[in-house]
Every structure is written in structure tokens, then in C-alpha cells.
């Protein structure tokens, strides 16, 4: 698809690369965002990749939208898409329990045992399509089709940070406590967002994620380390 | 060196210039609903324009200080008293330990600002002191302020003098709220786009720092009200399935799944924010290029206004004299400019 430029007021514009959720389109989005960043165009103040487009905020005192569009069209024309920078994370999960209160119901809906559901969820390879909605909240693609489950009719008022969720065809690791209509099957002791930590955000768009089942005792032990400000897990740089 | 909140108005929060460059991590800018008004309050106190100050909705509250400070209230017309002495918004005044500062209701606007000389010095979160209520970030424990809160102040290094504006700020002009169509205006039929500018909209009570829901014409999206979520900005006009437009504001979420019919231009967003509930207004479409040009003029005018503050002579005239002056709506006759 040829990039389409869409105006977004007097100090932002959108480069749209597709109209659906698609890993290839998203890979182009992330490569384009990285290319715009690397180009260090004076007047560009912020770059926000999402599923299928890149939003660029600019300061019209330094660069006008028309000129910026020309620079960005040139960049997207010569774009090289590469997944080589992608990082890969193994996120430990305590399945079930109080936070993962929907595990058994979803398993029953799908005609699976809870153990089979856990194996399916932990067996998936996920991709961070975008970070949005709340600080550090990662939208994950790659949820096995059998686990696709509609959101709740009535959102719950309070779901803790770290809850592992399913919303439609997407997965999530909740980053902050708050209301949610997603369904939850477990929790991770990892804090994907901690404003007090040196690196506040663990995940970024384009990262790969896998889930690793752990027992509740290990979960509590890791949670204590995370509470002390440790990142607890490190990413692997994919080849 | 601190300010005590003796009584807090609703939605009293600490704000500064806001968080920058973190929308790709899902972090909203936050910051003031009316940026020029907050910059003016700071400038009147000798602070940098983006220093941390207080923002309130409709009614300010009561405050006291542990050291002599200068303060200024901006955002609109309201009653301000130091002890029983009435003082004016739009200029700085002295507040001494033992005195109570009382800030009443805004008359025709919504968001008020109180700056204190030195600025509020709570620890920054992700590079900013701005309170983001939704995610509990910044300010004091990420929340609205309450009675009894103590707000630390930074060292006051500016010249010890009180200032007032010499000219009016550009935000005070009337007229329609100007918009640039898009990014998803192609989701709407031409007659729906037309009704966006040919009919009046109303400010409804469903409003906060995150968004304003507008009443008026319904805006059905011919191509449906769901898009694959993409990035938003403050000023984005989302149209969900209710067909009622929602304008995203300072504390907006960073992404959304509704089509965005248009974007309010940066110069007019504070003016929309300041409209009281029930206010009727129209939208007018401008091109992106026109929107940018308006912004450049607006920014220049604001800078000029901030650079042209006048020192208030002190000790020459009594407050009784000032109260006898006919200072309607904060507009000064030239001969009264030098008075206090």
C-alpha cells in the first residue's frame, strides 16, 4: 500500500501504511518510525507508531506540515524493513488465582481444561503491535485463534497492574491498575511500567513476547524484587 | 517554604508544561487545559512559563504560606481576597505568612491558574510535575489536591516585584472554534461534514481534563464508528457509536479506536476548554496551512504579551482607591494602569 498522508490538526500528521491489523504492515510502521527518528528532522517533536500508521508531531515554527510531508514521503519511499532490532521477552506468569479469575470460565467456553488453555496461551508467540491507552500498555498480537474471546459486557472497575488479559483477538499485560472490560487468566510479577525505575517502560512496539508459566511462590519472590525497583527480566536481542 | 491548602476547590491539581515525547509509551502529555493562561500566571510571578502551578476547575480554594510570596491568578475573572482585601486576577500580589488567600468562582470561564513565585517543587515523574489523574502520575501522589495538603515551593530567584499585563492575551478573542478536517473525515458523508460547520454545538456536563462530549447534531459515520486503533492528539474530535463528538483534551489517551472527523487547531483548544457548560458555538474549517499560520501568530502574540508585563508601583495608592476604580471585567482604562 502506498503511504497515505492524513492531516491531524496544525502540528501533527499521520502516515498510514494499511487499514488492518497485520504483522507485515506493523513491521513497516515500526521501521518507518525508526527511520523518522534517525533522520532527526528539525522541528519533529514526537513520533507515535500504532498498528498501521505513524503519527508525527511537529513544531510549525520550525517546519511546516507541507515540507515535512515531502521529507517523510522521501523517507518512506526508501524504507528498508528489518525485524532485526526486535527484542524478545520471556514474561513469567502465575496462571489462574484471584487475578486470573476468568481462566476456568474461558477454558469451559472453549471445551478445554485449564491446563490445556495455559499450554495454548504460553505456547503462543506474541508481537507488541503498539503501546497505547495507558502508560506502558502493550497490545499483543499472536493470540492463538481458539483463545479469541469477546470483552465483558460490563467492564470491571479495578483490575491490578500485571494482570494477563485477553480482549477479542488481542492479548495484554496490564501496566497500571484500572477499569477494564478484558478477561484475565493470570498475573505476572514483572512490572511493565514503573515510573520510579531507571527504565520506566519495559516493552516497545515491535518487541516479541512469550509467556512462561511459574508457580505462585516464585511469582511472589519475583514480585518482591520488582517492588524493590529491579527490572527482574532482560530481553534477548533476536538475530 | 511551602503553601498549605486550607480548602481545596474541585479538581485542584498541580500542572506544568506537561510530559513530552512519551506518547509512544502510552503516556499522555497532561499539563494545563489553558496553556497561555498558565504561562501568564507564571510570568506574572517571575517564573518560567512552564513552572509548576495550580490549576482549578470553577472554584479555587483557600491557601496560606510559610514565607512571603508573590502569586497571580489567571484564566478568567473571579473574586480573590487576601484577608478581607479584594485583589484582581491578571496581576501578581504579595501573600505573607498569617494571611489567608481566598479564590472564589470563575465568572465566565472554567479553568483557573494560581502561580506562586518560585514555583511548586514536588518531585517530577517521567520528567514533569504535571498531574495525570487517570494514571495517577505526577503532582502530589498523582491525585487532585485536598484540604491539608502542603505544597513545597522552589527558591524564589526572580526580582521581588509585582507585575501586571499591559495588553490582552490572544486567547480572549471570540468567533468559531477552528478545525482542520481529518484524519478520518472520509468515514463521514459530505452532508455530515457539512452539519459539522452549519449547526451549533453545545458544551455538555460530560467534561473533564481528558475530554469534552459535545451536544448538537449527530454525526453518523457512513463507514462505521470502529477503526483499527491509531494515535490521537489533544484536539482530536472522535465520533463513537453515539454519534456525539468528543474532543480530546490535555489529559487525553494516546490512542483510540473511533474515527476522528477533525482536529481543533492548537490556538483555539484553550478557548474551547474555557467554555462553560451550556455554551453554544460553531466550528469553522481551516486548511492545515491556515491553522499553522494562526498558531504562529498566536504564539508570537503570547510571547509579546509575556515580554511586555509592567511593574506595578507599590505603596503609592491604597486599596480603597483601587476599589473605587471602575475595573469592570478586568479591563483597565489607561489612566488607571499605574494605580494601586
CA distance B271 to B227: 29
Residues in contact with B115: Cβ distance below 8 Å, sequence separation at least 6, in sequence order: B38, B41, B42, B44, B45, B47, B51, B53, B54, B71, B72, B74
Using alpha carbons only, give the angle B106, B103, B334 rounded to the nearest 5 degrees.
70
> Residue B317 has what pLDDT?
57
**Residue A47 is nearest to which of B24, B183, B228, comparing CB atoms?**
B24
Region at B276 (left for phi over 0; alpha for psi -120 to 50; beta for the rest): beta
Using the Cβ of B230 and the Cβ atoms of chain A, whether some distance falls under 8 Å is answered with yes
Show the domains of chain A with their CATH numbers.
Answer: 4-77 (3.30.1360.40), 87-237 (2.40.100.10)
Domain with CATH 2.40.100.10 in chain B: 172-298
Q: How many CB atoms lie within 10 A of CB A27?
A: 17
Chain A nearest CA to B187, separation (Å): 13
**Closest residue by Cα to residue B210 from B57, B107, B21, B37:** B57
Interchain contact, B182 vs A6, CB within 8 Å: yes
CA distance B171 to A105: 55
Interface test with chain B among A8, A10, A45, A46, by most B beta carbons within 10 Å? A10
CA distance A176 to B154: 31
Using the Cβ of A30 and the Cβ atoms of chain B, whether some distance falls under 8 Å is answered with no
* A53 three-class SS: strand
Q: Please identify which residue in the block is written with the cell numbers 491531524.
A: A8
CB pairs under 8 A between A and B: 137
This model of the complex carries an ipTM of 0.90
- B17 touches B50 (CB < 8 A): yes
What cell was used for B269? 483548544
Q: Which helix (H) or strand (E) holds B293?
A: helix B288-307
Per residue of chain B (340 residues), give pLDDT as tens: 899 999 999 899 999 999 999 999 999 999 999 999 999 999 999 999 999 999 999 999 999 999 999 999 999 999 999 998 999 999 999 999 999 999 999 999 999 999 999 999 999 999 999 999 988 999 999 999 999 999 999 998 888 899 998 865 555 567 999 999 999 999 999 999 999 999 999 999 999 999 999 999 999 999 998 888 899 999 999 999 899 999 999 999 999 989 999 999 999 999 999 999 999 999 999 999 999 999 999 999 999 999 999 999 876 555 655 565 545 444 433 333 333 3
> Residue A97 has what pLDDT?
94
**Residue A50 is nearest to which of B231, B236, B263, comparing CB atoms?**
B231
Residues in contact with A87: Cβ distance below 8 Å, sequence separation at least 6, in sequence order: A204, A207, A208, A235, A236, A237, A238
**Residue A195 is nearest to which of B134, B137, B183, comparing CB atoms?**
B137
A66 contacts in B (CB within 8 Å)?
Answer: 288-289
Using the Cβ of B180 and the Cβ atoms of chain A, whether some distance falls under 8 Å is answered with yes
Interchain contact, A46 vs B291, CB within 8 Å: no
- A93 touches A123 (CB < 8 A): no
Interchain contact, A10 vs B295, CB within 8 Å: yes
A199-213: pLDDT as tens digits: 899 999 999 999 999
> What does DSSP say about strands B283-285 and B177-181: parallel, antiparallel, or unpaired?
parallel
* Beta-bridge partners for B248: B211
Chain B nearest CA to A11, separation (Å): 7
Using the Cβ of B27 and the Cβ atoms of chain A, whether some distance falls under 8 Å is answered with yes
A197 contacts in B (CB within 8 Å)?
Answer: none
B297-337: pLDDT as tens digits: 999 999 999 999 999 987 655 565 556 554 544 443 333 33
A201 contacts in B (CB within 8 Å)?
Answer: 25
Give the residues of chain A that fall short of pLDDT 70: 1, 83-85, 238-239
B254 contacts in A (CB within 8 Å)?
Answer: 48, 132-133
**Residue B292 is nearest to which of A21, A64, A134, comparing CB atoms?**
A64
Q: What's the CATH number for B172-298?
A: 2.40.100.10
> Residue B330 has what pLDDT?
42
Q: Is the peptide bond before A200 cis (omega within 30 degrees of 0)?
A: no
What's the predicted TM-score (pTM) here? 0.90
> Residue B168 has what pLDDT?
57
Which residues of A, range 170-199, sit inside 8 Å of B by Cβ?
A: 175-176, 178, 195
> Residue B172 has what pLDDT?
53
Using the Cβ of A120 and the Cβ atoms of chain B, whether some distance falls under 8 Å is answered with no
> Residue B340 has what pLDDT?
31
CA distance B303 to B90: 16
Amino acid at each position: 500500500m502506498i503511504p497515505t498522508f492524513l492531516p491531524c490538526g496544525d502540528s501533527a500528521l499521520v502516515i498510514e501504511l494499511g487499514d488492518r491489523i497485520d504483522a507485515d504492515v506493523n513491521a513497516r510502521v515500526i521501521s518507518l518510525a525508526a527511520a523518522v527518528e534517525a533522520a532527526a528532522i528539525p522541528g519533529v517533536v514526537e513520533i507515535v507508531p500504532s498498528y498501521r500508521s505513524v503519527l508525527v508531531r511537529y513544531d510549525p515554527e520550525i517546519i511546516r506540515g507541507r515540507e515535512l510531508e515531502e521529507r517523510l514521503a522521501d523517507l518512506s519511499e526508501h524504507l528498508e524493513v528489518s525485524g532485526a532490532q526486535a527484542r524478545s521477552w520471556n514474561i513469567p506468569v502465575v496462571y489462574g488465582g484471584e487475578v486470573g479469575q476468568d481462566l476456568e470460565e474461558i477454558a469451559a467456553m472453549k471445551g478445554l481444561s485449564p491446563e490445556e488453555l495455559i499450554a495454548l496461551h504460553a505456547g503462543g508467540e506474541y508481537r507488541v503491535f503498539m503501546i497505547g491507552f495507558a502508560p506502558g500498555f502493550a497490545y499483543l498480537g499472536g493470540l492463538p485463534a481458539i483463545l479469541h474471546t469477546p470483552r465483558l459486557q460490563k467492564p470491571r472497575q479495578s483490575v491490578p497492574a500485571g494482570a494477563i488479559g485477553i480482549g477479542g483477538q488481542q492479548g495484554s499485560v496490564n501496566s497500571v491498575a484500572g477499569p477494564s472490560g478484558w478477561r484475565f487468566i493470570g498475573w505476572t510479577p514483572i512490572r511493565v511500567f514503573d515510573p520510579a525505575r531507571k527504565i520506566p517502560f519495559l516493552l516497545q512496539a515491535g518487541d516479541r513476547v512469550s509467556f512462561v508459566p511459574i508457580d505462585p511462590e516464585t511469582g511472589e519472590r519475583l514480585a518482591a524484587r520488582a517492588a524493590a525497583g529491579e527490572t527482574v527480566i532482560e530481553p534477548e536481542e533476536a538475530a | 517554604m511551602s503553601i498549605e491548602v486550607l480548602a481545596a476547590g474541585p479538581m485542584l491539581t498541580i500542572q506544568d508544561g506537561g510530559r513530552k515525547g512519551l506518547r509512544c509509551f502510552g503516556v499522555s502529555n497532561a499539563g494545563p487545559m489553558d496553556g497561555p493562561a498558565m504561562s501568564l500566571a507564571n510570568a506574572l510571578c517571575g517564573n518560567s512559563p512552564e513552572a509548576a502551578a495550580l490549576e482549578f476547575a470553577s472554584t479555587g480554594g483557600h491557601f496560606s504560606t510559610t514565607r512571603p510570596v508573590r502569586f497571580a491568578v489567571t484564566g478568567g475573572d473571579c473574586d480573590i481576597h487576601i484577608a478581607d482585601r479584594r485583589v484582581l486576577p491578571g496581576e501578581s500580589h504579595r501573600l505573607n505568612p498569617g494571611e489567608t488567600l481566598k479564590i472564589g468562582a470563575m465568572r465566565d470561564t472554567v479553568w483557573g491558574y494560581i502561580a506562586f513565585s518560585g514555583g511548586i517543587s514536588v518531585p517530577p515523574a517521567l520528567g514533569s510535575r504535571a498531574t495525570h489523574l487517570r494514571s495517577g502520575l505526577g503532582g502530589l501522589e498523582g491525585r487532585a489536591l485536598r484540604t491539608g495538603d502542603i505544597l513545597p515551593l522552589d527558591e524564589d530567584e526572580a526580582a521581588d516585584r509585582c507585575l501586571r499585563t499591559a495588553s490582552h492575551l490572544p486567547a480572549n478573542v471570540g468567533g468559531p472554534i477552528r478545525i482542520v478536517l481529518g484524519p478520518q473525515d472520509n468515514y463521514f458523508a459530505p452532508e455530515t461534514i457539512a452539519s459539522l460547520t452549519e449547526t451549533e454545538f453545545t458544551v455538555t456536563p460530560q467534561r473533564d481534563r481528558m475530554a469534552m462530549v459535545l451536544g448538537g447534531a449527530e454525526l453518523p459515520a457512513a463507514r462505521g464508528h470502529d477503526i483499527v486503533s491509531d494515535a490521537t492528539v489533544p484536539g482530536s474530535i472522535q465520533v463513537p457509536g453515539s454519534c456525539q463528538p468528543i474532543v480530546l483534551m490535555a489529559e487525553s489517551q494516546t490512542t483510540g479506536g473511533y474515527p476522528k472527523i477533525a482536529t481543533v487547531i492548537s490556538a483555539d483548544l484553550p478557548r474551547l476548554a474555557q467554555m462553560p457548560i451550556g455554551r453554544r458555538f460553531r466550528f469553522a474549517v481551516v486548511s492545515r496551512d491556515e491553522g499553522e499560520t494562526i498558531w504562529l501568530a498566536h504564539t508570537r502574540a503570547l510571547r509579546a504579551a509575556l515580554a511586555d508585563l509592567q511593574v506595578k508601583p507599590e505603596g503609592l495608592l491604597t486599596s480603597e482607591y483601587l476599589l473605587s476604580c471602575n475595573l469592570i471585567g478586568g479591563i483597565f482604562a489607561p489612566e488607571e494602569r499605574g494605580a494601586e
